[in-house]
Amino acid sequence: MDKTISNLSHFEGQEITLKGWVYNKRAIGKIWFLILRDGTGLVQCVVVKGEVDEALFNLEADLNQEDSVMITGSIRKEPRSVGGYELGVTRIEVVQHVTEEYPIGPKEHGPDFLMSNRHLWLRSKRQNAIIRVRHRVIKAIRDYFDNNGFTLVDSPMFTANAVEGTTDLFEVDYFDRSAYLTQSGQLYGEASAMAFGKIYVFGPTFRAEKSKTRRHLTEFWMVEPEMAFCDLDKDMDVAEDFVSYIIHQCLEHCQEEFKILERDTSKLEGIIPPFPRITYDEAAKLLIEKGADFEYGSDFGAPDETLLAEQFDKPVMIHRWPADIKAFYMKRDKENNDLALGVDMIAPEGFGEIIGGGQREDDYESLVNSIRHHDLPMEPFQWYLDLRKYGSVPHAGFGLGVERTVAWITGTKHVRETIPYPRTMSRLEP
């Protein structure tokens, strides 16, 4: 077993060496304390005059924040210390002294400065905790699908066609033709579902939306399950079970991170199925009753989503949307041809849409007409149309945005903090 701060309980009473960086230090008379971080957590290291040689005791004056060090000492239980353990120091080896002042200090820094120093900001306690929760979310995503009969089938990053429309595509020069960075792996996911039954696509997606809101990135991660022989109702069943699983995996494994983030987890503990389900028409009526400036037939803006979410203590699923504002591949409701069998899941606490999905059009002629209605070129979709010619079946799926989900779970207001190195309209570095 690796000797790391995260598993110190296994080494109580033993002398071990920890490798990491100086997070903080303070001195009180004949004792000084060093807070060490090693990427897995923080631990207090105690140096006592008389128990170590003079050179080691005097080292405190020379150490700087982020000096890389290897510290040897014995592990003992100490409930008052961070993590419940501390290390009684017998030796410190400095790997590198930091000779310049570390850019990120205890004073207040503006968001632009912090984002420009994102490669260093990730070392801070709060940012580290957010990314650790992200890791748990991603593990839960994979575990859920792997344990429920889904096969991971990756989709390409370069595509010749749009998925959600052509207005927010990143176009790239692809030898002697144009290609686009993918908006979604869904179309290829549908093809894969016809080969494997139940699949999921998981990877980065790209949207060239000129949006500067706290909910948008130009590059974000999305998981997209797709299921053959599946309708809208079953799709919503899977979506709510899936989201509940993610939440409870985080509640089980991320309590230390939630403490650092000061997250009120009571708001997450009740996230268990069933989730409320309302139609678009019901949602529109609710908004108007609550005094929102909302026009029927339009998509919901961030204030609309927040207002709707405030009416429920769980994520709310809004289904059966006006077909004109949904993607070309959405199947129409047989009870009302003006409605598409789509669903959006809105997270509580004002974190907005985390899932978009629905039942796909499985009829060849209907899909051809929809592609024409949306003024899309037919040629790039010929392979996609093949799926409706050779063994077409009812099928459905959805996409969950990782960053918005992490923002909700951690209580982080801006998605730029939920991905290690965010990409926005104005930021391409670091």
So what's the pLDDT on residue 210?
Answer: 85
* 423: in domain: no
* 308: in domain: yes
**Which of these, 369, 404, 368, lies nearest to 384 by C-alpha position?**
368
Tell me, yes or no, whether 18 and 79 share the same domain. Answer: yes
* 63: in domain: yes
The residue ranking higher by pLDDT, 426 or 146, is: 146
CATH number, residue 313: 3.30.930.10
* pLDDT(93) > 70: yes
Number of domains in the chain: 2
Tell me, yes or no, whether 91 and 122 share the same domain. Answer: no
Find the Cα–Cα–Cα–Cα dihedral 177, 182, 188, 193, rounded to 10°: 170
CATH number, residue 22: 2.40.50.140
Tell me, yes or no, whether 229 and 291 share the same domain. Answer: yes
* 378: in domain: yes
Main-chain dihedrals φ then ψ at residue 3, nearest 5 degrees: -90, 95
So what's the pLDDT on residue 55?
Answer: 95
* pLDDT(166) > 70: no
Q: What is the pTM of this model?
A: 0.94
Tell me, yes or no, whether 275 and 412 share the same domain. Answer: yes
Report how far apart, in Å, the C-alpha atoms of 51 and of each of 27, 33, 78, 89 are. Answer: 15, 14, 19, 9
CB neighbour class for 34 (10 Å; exposed up to 12, middle 13-18, buried from 19)? buried
* 273: in domain: yes
Tell me, yes or no, whether 89 and 163 share the same domain. Answer: no
Host H or E run for residue 419? none
So what's the pLDDT on residue 366?
Answer: 97
Range of the domain at 333: 118-417
Give the pLDDT mean for 256-278: 96
* Structure token pair of residue 182: 């993918």
Tell me, yes or no, whether 16 and 57 share the same domain. Answer: yes
* 406: in domain: yes
Tell me, yes or no, whether 76 and 133 share the same domain. Answer: no
Tell me, yes or no, whether 376 and 229 share the same domain. Answer: yes
Tell me, yes or no, whether 25 and 155 share the same domain. Answer: no
So what's the pLDDT on residue 400?
Answer: 98
Tell me, yes or no, whether 55 and 196 share the same domain. Answer: no
So what's the pLDDT on residue 107?
Answer: 83
Tell me, yes or no, whether 85 and 125 share the same domain. Answer: no
